[in-house]
Structure 1
Amino acid sequence: MKIRSALLPIALSIITVGCSAATATDSSVPLEETKSMFRKINDKIGVSPQITLDQINDAKAEGVTLIVNNRPDGEDPAAPQSADIEAAAKAAGLDYVAIPISHSGFSAPQVDAMIAALDSTKGKTLAYCRSGTRSTLLWSLAQAKSGMAPEEIARLAGNAGYDITPVRAMVDVLAAGQ
């Protein structure tokens, strides 16, 4: 147990090196049918590439009550930054949490923050980053730590068009720790 806990931060940051290759899968993967502009992982969460300020009202219309920003400020200076999205979300009556994930990797506190964010809302969550991949991978780690079976995590992410292979080993480790 102590070794697993000590290795978690190291493993999470090493695994992220492969995340740039874990973009949304190609169109040959059957995506779950949805009318949403966001990719549905399950009834509680959807993921998205960078959202615009205009899309916040679209998210609210789809039942989103929480927006989770997994994109660090400055990654794309032309994109709306965290404060802009937060202000627009709050103006629309939505909760907002920033859990930025840089290309240097995931950390145990980020996984715990995602668990807390998901547990804090009774409605739907929309998590976004540049492509939706980091949001999906962070969701995967959070679900594994919360006890969801790795096969189910992989299936749900795959239905949304995302491959969890870069974090699959850590998903298995976190799920086994339950």
Structure 2
Amino acid sequence: MDLRQLTPDLAVTPQIQPEDLPALAEAGFRVLINNRPDDEVGPHEDDAAMRAAAEAAGLEYHYNPFTPGQITPEMISAQARALASPGPKVAYCRSGNRSTVLWALTRAGLEPADDLIATGARAGYDISGIRPLIESLAHRGR
């Protein structure tokens, strides 16, 4: 696994496998957020398989699929609710970028856009292209 820490209680990662989840739980993670749409994966990694594996490992599980270019206010709200769950969290998608984008959008208006973009960059994700959306959400007060 390629865990990249965004905050003290949130790591993002590229696609993980059901057999990775016991190790995540043993490492202290309590919440798994799946941002990968089912149409991008096979049945071994789809929502049902990951939910079952997460529950078997004792992890709280959230499915919030993010298709590139299709961000909605509901998706941002769902991610914020998942991120509000207690304990250390792991969010994943194909590369970790979409999970990072959603995290940044949940923080719009709470942290400066420059800081959010810099945090993404430190984790290896260039999210500078969403600066206008971060600033728009911040301006509206989300």
TM-score normalised according to structure 1 size: 0.74
2:32 alignment partner AA: I
- Residue equivalent to 2:50: 85
- Residue equivalent to 2:75: 110
- Residue equivalent to 1:26: none
- Residue equivalent to 1:149: 112
Within the alignment, does 1:177 sit opposite 2:140 as a pair? yes
- Other structure's SS at 1:131 match: coil
C-alpha distance after superposition, 1:7-64 (max 9, x if no partner): xxxxxxxxxxxxxxxxxxxxxxxxxxxxx73111111111111111121122112221
Higher RCO (C-alpha under 8 Å, 6+ residues apart): 1
Shift in CA distance, 104/151, structure 1 to aligned 2, threshold 3 Å: closer
Unaligned runs of 5+ in 1: 1-35
Contact 1:50 1:79 in 2 (8 A): no
- Residue equivalent to 2:102: 138
The alignment yields a C-alpha RMSD, in angstroms, of 1.6
- Other structure's SS at 2:58 match: coil
- Residue equivalent to 1:41: 6
Separation of aligned partners in 2, 1:109 and 1:78 = 26
Q: Name the larger-Rg structure.
A: 1
Within the alignment, does 1:97 sit opposite 2:62 as a pair? yes
Name which of structure 1's ranges 59-68 and 76-85 shifts more when overlaid on structure 2. Answer: 76-85
Within the alignment, does 1:160 sit opposite 2:123 as a pair? yes
Which stretches of structure 1, 4 residues or more, deviate above 3 A after TM superposition? none
Separation of aligned partners in 2, 1:55 and 1:71 = 16
Shift in CA distance, 69/155, structure 1 to aligned 2, threshold 3 Å: same
Shift in CA distance, 104/155, structure 1 to aligned 2, threshold 3 Å: closer
